[in-house]
Amino acid sequence: MNSSVHPHAVRGRPLTASGLGIELPDDTPLTAVRQAVLDHGVSLLRNVHFDDHSFRRFVESLGDKISYTDDNAQVGYGFADILKLDGTHDQEKVITGRGSLPLHTDGILLGTQVDLIILYAAEVRDIDEDGATVVCDQLAAWQDMPEPLRQPLLDGKLEYLAFERGYFTSVPEGWYPISTFRDYGRVRSLNLALPFDGQAKASWDVRVPGLTSEASAAWFAALEQHLTTDAYLYSHRWRTGDLLIIDNQRTLHGRRGLQPQTCRKLLRGQVTFEAITSAPGATLASV
């Protein structure tokens, strides 16, 4: 074993042991990044220079940019298309705040089809370990999932409650059921958001219908343990200029909390693919 090999992103190698993701060479043209994320599920390109305007243009080049206008104008604290994940100290804000986020797929609570999530580090200072974005190869994790863990997912629905009303403005007030799988024609995969741990201010909650809260919590803890197994997980520690694009249909993602004195300002865009685009290497969930 070569001890100089960095355990995470090494150019040309997968980002997870299960084979998901790729770090592209610095000179990769931005026009090649879309195909890379379709082929590999996640792509990382470093030392990219965007301002708000050029980032928006880039997002628009990848698919149909998701924009929360008209009926949804108030979704996500009133942002329209580019969300600023600025690590705000405002205690009321969870998603754009400083705490950890459990593994989830984007669009689940709002019922939006999100194919790609585009994250760009506009400004990162004083960070070494924390504030990582974590990405799980959910298709690999599903294939290896023990039967008892699968069962509540195979039952078809979990129940969710959205707390962060400033972000999730257009969803039901109480608990409501959401399907555990989704298939927008490209990839069939888990449609899932795990619960927040007891310490953190929660943006949402989730439970297994028909189970006691203890039994539900125990199942989620076991599920989280499986999904966060090293083999399926890539933790991205941010540096200014990093562009990380995630195929939301093949992965789940979350965030480790930010340390008090750190600065982490990301821009986030989301796109939907109108036409079905094949994702080579993506295997269908076997259900």
Ligand X SMILES: O=C(O)CCC(=O)C(=O)O
Would you call 217 helix, strand, or coil by DSSP? Answer: helix
Q: Is 255 in the site for ligand X (CB under 6 A)?
A: yes
Kindly identify the residues of this chain, within the stretch 256-285, that bind ligand X according to CB under 6 A.
266, 268
Number of residues that bind Fe ion (CB under 5 A): 1
CA–CA dist 103, 229 (Å, integer): 12
For ligand X, which is the closer residue by CB, 23 or 86? 86
Of residues 152 and 189, the one with the C-beta less far from ligand X: 189
Name the minimum Å distance from CB 39 to ligand X: 23
Task: Name which of 154, 287, 286 is nearest 208 in CA terms.
Answer: 154
C-alpha 227/C-alpha 137 separation (Å) is 8
Q: Does residue 207 bind ligand X (CB under 6 A)?
A: no
- Within 8 A by CB and 6+ apart from 66, the residues are 81, 112, 114, 269, 270, 271, 272
**Piece of the chain touching Fe ion by CB under 5 A; list 85-93, 98-106, 146-154, 212-220:** 98-106
Collect all residues with Cβ–Cβ distance below 8 Å to 31 and sequence separation of at least 6: 61
Is 95 one of the binding residues for ligand X (CB under 6 A)? Answer: yes
User: Do the Cβ atoms of 256 and 130 come closer than 8 Å?
Assistant: yes
Using CB under 6 A, which of 106, 137, 164, 242 touches ligand X?
Answer: 106
- Taking residues 158 to 177 in sequence order and writing x for each that binds Fe ion by CB under 5 A, - otherwise, the string is --------------------
What's the length of the chain? 287
Instruction: Of 284, 206, 267, give the one whose Cα is nearest residue 55.
Output: 267
Based on the shown chain and the rule CB under 6 A, indicate whether residue 253 belongs to the binding site for ligand X.
Answer: yes
85 binds ligand X per the rule CB under 6 A? yes
Q: Choose one: 78-86, 99-107, 178-186, 200-208; the region binding Fe ion (CB under 5 A).
A: 99-107
| Helical packing angle, 147-154 and 213-227, nearest 10° | 120
45 binds ligand X (CB under 6 A): no
Q: Which is nearer to ligand X, 34 or 236 (CB)?
A: 236
Determine which residue in the list 100, 113, 133, 248 makes contact with ligand X, applying CB under 6 A: 133
Which residue type does 162 have? A
Query: Which entry of Fe ion, ligand X, none binds 85, CB below 5 to 8 A by partner kind?
Result: ligand X
Residue closer to Fe ion by CB (options 33, 244) is: 244
String of contacts with ligand X for each residue 162-201, x by CB under 6 A: ----------------------------------------
Q: Where are the alpha helices (DSSP H) in the chain?
A: 33-40, 52-62, 138-143, 147-154, 213-227
Q: Are 20 and 40 in contact (CB under 8 A)?
A: yes
Q: How far is the CB of 189 from ligand X (least distance, A)?
A: 17
Distance of CA 265 to the CA centre of its chain: 16
Torsion of CA 232, 215, 102, 137, to 10 degrees: 20
Contact with Fe ion (CB under 5 A): which of 106, 137, 164, 247?
A: 106
Tell whether residue 46 is a contact of ligand X (CB under 6 A). no
Nearest Cα residue to 286 out of 157, 140, 104, 185: 140
Residues lying near ligand X in the complex (CB under 6 A)? 83, 85, 95, 101, 106, 133, 253, 255, 266, 268
